[in-house]
């Protein structure tokens, strides 16, 4: 079993300075390592004046944290691949893999928030999905080649490496590498410096909520991460990934293998206290995501978001009953982890602890301590005994 935490630089009420926010993040990540979590995930968001997650560069953040931790996996969750130059990103991530002594994992996404994407790379606008997908696919393939091939080139729709007609002038004392230049000294193969420490690459992931996205991830050799699907929707994603991997390798992997499920978590001494504290956060969460994605992302097959019963159901009950919230006492949260792990074959969890103005820092820290000291050991033991 693997238990990771999604870490956000959240400052909803705007009372914290950015240095304060950064220092709190450093302490939280060190706490995750101390409490036995396996990894920390950092997202990429730009121009976040509302401070839902004020982290424009998870690579730089993780580089800082690599020097402050020893065992925790440092995971990009995710870098918006369509807004980066692929070679610069390949170089930066490779350096981070060395800085962390091989603790890097990389999730890639096309991005979801329009104003972030179009102000950096207008061509990647997700209102043009075929273009956005093509940019993602080309950038990903360039990174994979740069990481895995000592000498590589690329001639694609948007990039050509190396550019034709450029002379390569190595240091006279450096032996000329075969195949890097042609007979006229023109540069025809590139070499990334450095390449990652982990071979052949750091573990790579793709975030998606669709069967198409999970199949594409499986075929590309990436793990699949999903946030919203539940019930039959979730099962179909995992089965599609499983079948796609069999198509690549000829071997059917276990259900849930190389797939991670993200869920919100909050722990308090009793179910009643946890619900009281988290209920207003659930209401805001449902309101925000309904505006951005629609209520349907939280529902299962056969459920109609226009059904009046959903209008009369509290946000907490709707999200809790469908397995989106792991909120309650240590026993309740442990049981939900164990039940869903058994049902869906999930062995990798990404927990999000809401850093919200409605949760005090004391309640947030208490929740984290109970997760590490009570929930994680109990869940690990229960699932090991069940195998």
195, 147 Cβ separation under 8 angstroms: yes
Tokens of 351: 């927990």
Residue range 292-325, pLDDT digits in tens: 788 999 999 999 999 998 888 999 999 999 999 9
> Is residue 30 within a helix (H) or strand (E), and if so which, with residue range?
helix 18-34
Residue range 141-191, pLDDT digits in tens: 999 999 999 999 999 999 999 999 888 777 777 666 778 888 888 889 999
Amino acid 44: pLDDT:
94
Percent of the chain at pLDDT exceeding 70: 97
Domains of the chain as residue ranges with CATH: 1-150+191-207 (3.20.20.30)
Confidence band for 50, pLDDT divided at 50, 70 and 90: low
**Category of 353 on φ-ψ map: left (φ > 0), alpha (ψ -120 to 50) or beta:** beta
Confidence band for 354, pLDDT divided at 50, 70 and 90: low
pLDDT > 90? residue 112 = no
3 state DSSP class of 78: strand
Radius of gyration of the chain (CA): 22
In angstroms, the CA 380 to CA 370 distance is 14
Amino acid 347: pLDDT:
96
44, 79 Cβ separation under 8 angstroms: yes
pLDDT > 80? residue 193 = yes
Tokens of 98: 């060395």
109, 207 Cβ separation under 8 angstroms: yes
pLDDT > 90? residue 2 = yes
pLDDT > 60? residue 356 = no
Mean pLDDT calculated for residue range 20-30:
94
pLDDT > 90? residue 40 = yes
Confidence band for 370, pLDDT divided at 50, 70 and 90: very high
Mean pLDDT calculated for residue range 1-10:
93
CA angle 335, 259, 323 (to 5 degrees): 35
Confidence band for 51, pLDDT divided at 50, 70 and 90: low
Q: How does DSSP assign 208-257, residue by residue?
A: -SSHHHHHHHHHTT-EEEESS--HHHHHHHHHHHHHHHHHHHSS-PPTTT
| pLDDT, averaged across the chain | 92
pTM for the full model?
0.93
Percent of the chain at pLDDT exceeding 90: 74
Confidence band for 372, pLDDT divided at 50, 70 and 90: very high
pLDDT > 80? residue 75 = yes
Tokens of 202: 């750091």
pLDDT > 70? residue 97 = yes
pLDDT > 80? residue 353 = no
pLDDT > 90? residue 95 = yes
Mean pLDDT calculated for residue range 49-59:
82
343 vs 14, higher pLDDT: 343
Confidence band for 343, pLDDT divided at 50, 70 and 90: very high
Whether the upstream peptide bond of residue 200 has omega within 30° of 0, thus cis, is yes
Residue range 140-150, pLDDT digits in tens: 999 999 999 99
CA angle 15, 18, 40 (to 5 degrees): 110
Mean pLDDT calculated for residue range 372-384:
97
């Amino acid at each position: 079993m693997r238990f990771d935490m999604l870490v956000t630089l959240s400052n909803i009420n705007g009372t914290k300075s950015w240095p304060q926010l950064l220092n709190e993040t450093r302490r939280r990540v060190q706490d995750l390592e101390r409490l036995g979590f396996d990894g920390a995930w950092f997202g990429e968001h730009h121009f976040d004046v509302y401070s839902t997650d004020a982290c424009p560069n998870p690579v730089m953040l993780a580089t800082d944290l690599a020097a402050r931790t020893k065992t925790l996996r440092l995971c990009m969750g995710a870098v918006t691949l369509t807004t980066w130059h692929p070679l610069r990103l390949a170089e930066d991530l490779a350096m981070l893999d060395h800085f962390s002594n091989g603790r890097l994992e990389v999730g890639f996404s096309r991005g979801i928030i329009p104003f972030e994407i179009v102000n950096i790379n207008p061509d990647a606008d997700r209102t043009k999905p075929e273009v956005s997908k093509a940019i993602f696919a080309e950038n990903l393939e360039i990174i994979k080649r740069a990481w895995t091939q000592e000498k590589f080139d690329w001639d694609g729709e948007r990039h050509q490496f190396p550019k034709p007609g450029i002379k390569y002038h190595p240091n006279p004392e450096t032996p000329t590498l075969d195949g890097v230049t042609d007979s006229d000294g023109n540069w025809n193969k590139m070499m990334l410096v450095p390449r990652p420490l982990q071979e052949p690459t750091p573990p790579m992931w793709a975030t998606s909520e669709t069967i198409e996205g999970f199949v594409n991830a499986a075929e590309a050799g990436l793990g699949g991460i999903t946030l919203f699907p539940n019930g039959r929707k979730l099962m179909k994603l995992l089965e599609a990934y499983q079948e796609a991997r069999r198509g690549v390798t000829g071997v059917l992997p276990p259900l849930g293998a190389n797939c991670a499920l993200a869920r919100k978590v909050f722990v308090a001494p009793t179910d009643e206290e946890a619900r009281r504290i988290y209920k207003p956060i659930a209401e805001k969460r449902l309101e925000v995501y309904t505006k951005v994605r629609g209520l349907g992302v939280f529902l299962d097959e056969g459920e109609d978001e226009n059904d009046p019963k959903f209008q009369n159901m509290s946000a907490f009950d709707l999200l809790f009953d469908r397995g989106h919230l792991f909120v309650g006492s240590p026993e309740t949260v442990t049981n939900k982890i164990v039940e869903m792990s058994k049902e869906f074959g999930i062995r990798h969890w990404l927990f999000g602890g809401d850093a919200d103005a409605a949760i005090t820092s004391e309640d947030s820290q208490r929740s984290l301590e109970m997760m590490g000291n009570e929930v994680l050991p109990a869940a690990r033991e229960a699932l090991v005994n069940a195998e």
